[in-house]
Structure formats: C-alpha cells, structure tokens
Amino acid sequence: MKSHHPEADQIVRRYIGAAAAPAPLGWGLDGVVYPHPTAHTAIKIHRGQDGFGNELAAYLRLTEHGVSQLQAGGHQFNVPVLVHYDTADRLIEMSIVRPPFLLDFAGATIDDPSDFTAEALGEWWDQVASDFGDDFPIARDVFWILVRKYGIYYWDLKPRNLCFS
C-alpha cells in the first residue's frame, strides 16, 4: 500500500532506523504522527516550518514549567512531554498520552494573542462553544489557564485536541 505521506515516512524511517515507516497514529493539516516502535513515544513530522515552530515553542514552554498535566474545571488533562526535537526535519518526539488529554500545539502562539478582530475572535469563541457544548466552560478554562500561566494562546481548541474521555 502506497503512503500518502512519503516525505514524512522517509524522515521517520531515518529517525528510528527502520526499513519501513510504522503506520501513522494520525495526521492533519500540520503533519503526521507516528508511534516510535520501541520507545513508547510519538513522533510528529510537521509539513511546514510555522506549525513546527509554534508547536516546539509551546512544548519548550511547557517543559520549562514541568507540565505533564493540566487541571481545569475538575478535570485533569494529560499533556504530552517533549522528548526530542530536530529542527532540520521539523520533527518533535513526545510522550504518548491517553484521554483525557490536551495535545497538538501547532496552531498555538506564544505570548502573542494574535491579530484577530473582535468580530473574528467572537466567531471563534462561538465555534468553540458549539464544538464543546456542555463542556464549553471547561474548554474556555483550559484556554485561559494556558494563557495566564504559560503565555500559550491555544487556537486549535477542538474536541479531538482537548479530549475528555
């Protein structure tokens, strides 16, 4: 079966020293995530420099503060821990987390609230509220905890990234 991610497959094969890339755990706009075959970690190969830079900056900030879990609204979310990174290959290796979790920081900004207009920001919050339904207050708390404690503006606030169960 031919891969849909040949460049990422090549990078991960070289990184883990294998003849074939493992089957991806997942993929999205920002990159492809593979399981490390022996280390029980995940390896994300980013498609672009911006997403890689954003995600690396967020993980470095979280590492600086020793964050592996985040508590909000009576819930404790597991956060991947940075294991290794390679800027040349836009690669981040991180611990694998189980639900409930918070992951995927490629869309985050550090110490920068972004240039959203008030209208665009309102529409974004409306979409987050719609996506999370009754769990919206907790999702909102996660966003503001990341901003206030760590300076991370988490713009990819979606149920697949902030998973409750």
**Parallel, antiparallel, or unpaired for β 82-86 and 41-46?**
unpaired
Number of domains in the chain: 1
Sign of CA dihedral 142, 151, 103, 28: positive
pLDDT, tens digit, for every residue of 17-75?
A: 999 999 999 988 889 999 999 999 999 999 999 999 999 999 999 999 999 999 999 99
Phi, psi of 66 (to 5 degrees): 65, 30
Q: Is 33 within the bounds of a domain?
A: yes
> Residue with structure tokens 């919206």?
136
Q: Is 78 within the bounds of a domain?
A: yes
**Parallel, antiparallel, or unpaired for β 101-102 and 109-110?**
unpaired
Q: Is 30 within the bounds of a domain?
A: yes
> Residue with structure tokens 């755990």?
25
Q: Is 38 within the bounds of a domain?
A: yes
Residue 87: CATH number of its domain: 3.30.200.20
Q: Is 1 within the bounds of a domain?
A: no
Pairwise CA distance, residues 50 & 114, whole Å: 14
SS3 at position 139: helix
Pairwise CA distance, residues 119 & 83, whole Å: 39
Pairwise CA distance, residues 163 & 165, whole Å: 6
pLDDT, tens digit, for every residue of 80-115?
A: 999 999 999 999 999 999 999 999 999 999 998 888
Which residue range(s) make up the domain with 31?
Answer: 6-163
Token duo for residue 149: 């404690």
